[in-house]
Amino acid sequence: MPYFIFFLLSAGWVCFLLFMAYIKNSSILYQFVFYIIGITCHQAPEKSFYFMNNQIPVCGRCFGIYAGLVAGLLIYPVFKNIKNTSTPSIKLLPVFILPVLIDGAFNLLETNIERMLTGLIFGIGVVFYLLPLINDMFYSKR
């Protein structure tokens, strides 16, 4: 159950972001969502992707993180049972965190695709640590 809820929320969020760009930058809903998301994302136009010629309301890195959650949830069952409650070794955590951390801190990457890839790596990694914790909370109460 937690797996499917996590997947629906993640995939729904990515679709919602694309929908926001689809409805055009001039809509009141888009402007409101853009403002709210701006609390956690810089949304720089030159560092964002565009859909239907409109800016997606998050930067390429953040979009990569959200897409990485979806990708991670799609590949998770290949490696683990979706009801798994054990997290990977903490030693693997830097593999997922360092690319996005270095990219965000030093702004070394030039293209949105590169920025998105660091977000994807992070998003996929988050799934392998977060889903077991969610499972543990959900299944331990039963």
How many Cα neighbours within 13 Å face the side chain of 17? 24
Check whether 142 has a pLDDT greater than 60. Answer: no
Domain count, the chain: 1
Per-residue model confidence (pLDDT) at position 65: 96
Supply the mean pLDDT for the chain.
91
**Averaged pLDDT for residues 90-110:** 89
**Averaged pLDDT for residues 72-92:** 94
- Per residue in 53-66, pLDDT (tens digit) is 888 999 999 999 99
Per-residue model confidence (pLDDT) at position 115: 93
Check whether 27 has a pLDDT greater than 80. Answer: no
- Choose the weakest-confidence range: 21-25, 30-34, 112-116: 21-25
Distance CA 73, CA 2 (A): 11
Residues 6+ away with beta carbon under 8 Å from 25:
31, 34, 54, 55
**DSSP class of 27:** S
Per-residue model confidence (pLDDT) at position 141: 66
Which residue, among 23, 21, 24, 27, has the nearest Cα to 58 in the 3D structure?
A: 21
The pTM assigned to this predicted structure is: 0.90
Check whether 36 has a pLDDT greater than 70. Answer: yes
- Residue range of the domain that includes 11: 2-140
> What percent of the chain stands above pLDDT 90?
73
How many Cα neighbours within 13 Å face the side chain of 92? 11
Check whether 125 has a pLDDT greater than 90. Answer: yes
